[in-house]
Amino acid sequence: GIQVEQSPPDLILQEGANSTLRCNFSDSVNNLQWFHQNPWGQLINLFYIPSGTKQNGRLSATTVATERYSLLYISSSQTTDSGVYFCARDRGSTLGRLYFGRGTQLTVWP
């Protein structure tokens, strides 16, 4: 079946530290996204990144499609970065279904 594995499952950091979250996936993808789930449950789009590298402020992401992994980098962590980060991929087609990993629970202490 389609697998999405995220690591680490939990990450605890001091404010100002940098972190790397990893997402491994099987097979080729048409769509790979990173989300941050806020305390109210909404999934906030971070990156749409089936391949290549993107940056948005303190966050950046890289997907190496040929090696089936994606990385999310968070630099100079802030307490507001706390929450669950999800990686999700599609089936490699235009169908809208996403397969989610179990997430990384990030806690940033002041």
Partner 1 sequence: KAGVTQTPRYLIKTRGQQVTLSCSPISGHRSVSWYQQTPGQGLQFLFEYFSETQRNKGNFPGRFSGRQFSNSRSEMNVSTLELGDSALYLCASSKGEWETEAFFGQGTRLTVV
Which residues here bind partner 1, judged by CB under 8 A? Answer: 30-31, 33, 35, 40-45, 48, 86, 88, 90, 94-100, 102-103
Q: What are the backbone angles phi and psi of residue 81, rounded to the nearest 5°?
A: -80, -10
Q: Which is nearer to partner 1, 31 or 82 (CB)?
A: 31
Our CB check for partner 1 shows the closer of 76 and 107 to be 107
Minimum Å gap between C-beta 60 and partner 1 is: 18
In sequence order, what are the beta bridge partners of 43?
37
SS3 for 18? coil
Residues 49 and 12: their CA atoms lie apart, in Å, by: 25
CB of 45 to partner 1, least distance (A): 6
CB-nearer residue toward partner 1: 71 or 98: 98
CB 23 within 8 A of CB 62: no
Query: At closest approach, how far in Å is the CB of 44 from partner 1?
Result: 8
Residue 74 CB neighbours (<10 A)? 23
